[in-house]
Amino acid sequence: MAVSADANDRGVHRDEAGERLASLYGLTPKVESAIAKAVDGQLASRARALVAPLHPADQADLLERLPMRKAEALVRMLGDDFDAEMLSYLDESTREEIVGVIGMAALARQLPDLPTGDAINIVEDLEQDEIDDVLAALSAKDRFLVKEGLSFPADSAGRMMEREIVTVPTFWTVGQTIDFLRASDLDIEEFYLIFVVDAMRNMLGEVRLSRLLRSQRPRRISEIMETDFRKIPVTMDQEEVSILFRRYGMICAGVVDAHGRLVGMITIDDIIDVIDEEAEEDLMALAGVGESNFRSSLWGTLQGRSSWLLVNLFTAIIASAVIGLFDETIEQLVALAVLMPIVASMGGNAGTQTLTVSVRALALRQLNRDAAMVFVWRELAVAALNGVAFAMLSATMAFLWFENADIAMVMAVAMFANLMIAGLSGTLVPIGLVNLGVDPAAASSVFITTITDVVGFFIFLGLAAIYLI
């Protein structure tokens, strides 16, 4: 097959752009290739020298790109040079494999060097006996922090928060606070806020570092602290936390327990991970593939997909049964067999479009009772306009194809009706599932497909039976 020079030029430009982008980071294609060759040649010292300068995120990216056997071999070569911070950047399935290679003892030795939130995120995915082994190897302080973090509900603010925070009383001055930050041995890599608390650790206010550094040393903290702040309950779901951060443009927030006492903080880098995780989860659910990736086992992938395919099989049987009701009608007019997939396909695509917008709005908590009604009416208006346009287009096509005005009229009415049903079901089905406590991303697509297929076939063939036969 011939390829144009322009296409080749575009390919070269894309490759060059990819190279330039990769050069901004430590893990360039050349470095990745060199590490892979070192692993293949069992050159452990060479592999360690190449991996050492990489950021833990690049190291994690490298492990996820390599075949699992080669990734495991690289981890063994790193030995004591293995950086546990890398684990916090790995996806769950790859992390499980790597933790199995390094062992619980090595993991326990490195966990204290990680922020508490990252340590808990790693430990929570282990089996219970492995968790017990890791906890037993930790110091009393680290063991208490990890066990307390694991006591909070999964995917809650308590699980993701960092326990290392800076707190000061209201009567301190700016100078005292700055001197405290310089003199103390704080085990915090990054922080953006200083939390103002009373003797019982109740939050009284917060001070941004930028405000602190721009204030005169004699000024008291009570004069510069912000009292209009938001506290995150320790049991709040991580998705709700991400919505708060997105809505108010927050970069950091304090986390409080049931008594209102400050127990930790959540920063924007934690929220980015949550947003990415929740978006991926909704995308996978809409496609009916569950928590699957290219590293998932054959059996796990099969289980995740076959269950939804089984549901789709039964819904397809329902649609086929509707067609079976009109088998004599179809036998008498072959044009119906040619045209009815078009009606069903258009309805399915329109329903999926509306469903995608609906699920996103629900995920962002944008649809209260009033907003939901406005949203439904707007989507119905869109469906009506699309229905009119595509009814006219499909009717024209049917007439030119079969030279039959009655067939064109049936096609137009069926197309308009199915697009209206698609718009209505694409909004009401996910909203109804939310009210029933069911995840709309996981269950809506099956219902939408069934409704548009069944209704599309029934209207099209029913009208044909009445007016054409």
Whether residues 324 and 196 fall in one domain: no
pLDDT below 70 — which residues of the chain? 1-26, 187, 189, 279-313, 315-316, 319, 330-332, 364, 442-443, 469
Write the burial class of residue 18 (CB in 10 Å: 0-12 exposed, 13-18 middle, 19+ buried).
exposed
The letter for the amino acid at 126 is L
Tokens of 357: 């917008």
Q: In angstroms, rounded to a whole number, what is the distance separating the alpha carbons of residues 304 and 461?
A: 35
CA-to-CA separations, 332 to 323, 326, 442, in angstroms, rounded? 14, 10, 40
Quick one: pLDDT at residue 2?
Answer: 40
CATH code for the domain of 114: 1.25.60.10
Q: What is the pLDDT of residues 26-65, one digit of tens each?
A: 688 888 889 999 999 999 899 999 998 888 889 988 888 8
Comparing CA positions, the residue from 383, 406, 386, 400 lying closest to residue 460 is 406
The letter for the amino acid at 370 is D
Q: In angstroms, rounded to a whole number, what is the distance separating the alpha carbons of residues 364 and 372?
A: 13
Whether residues 95 and 172 fall in one domain: no
Q: What is the pLDDT of residues 216-240, one digit of tens each?
A: 999 999 999 999 999 999 999 998 8
HSE-CB at 162 with a 13 A cutoff on CA atoms is 23
Whether residues 125 and 78 fall in one domain: yes
3-class state of residue 31 by DSSP: helix
- pTM attached to this predicted model: 0.64
Range of the domain at 185: 167-286
Query: Strand order of the sheet with strand 167-168?
Result: 167-168, 193-197, 203-208
Quick one: pLDDT at residue 303?
Answer: 60
Whether residues 384 and 453 fall in one domain: yes
Number of domain units in the chain: 3
Quick one: pLDDT at residue 1?
Answer: 38
Domain boundary, last residue among 155, 187, 209? 155
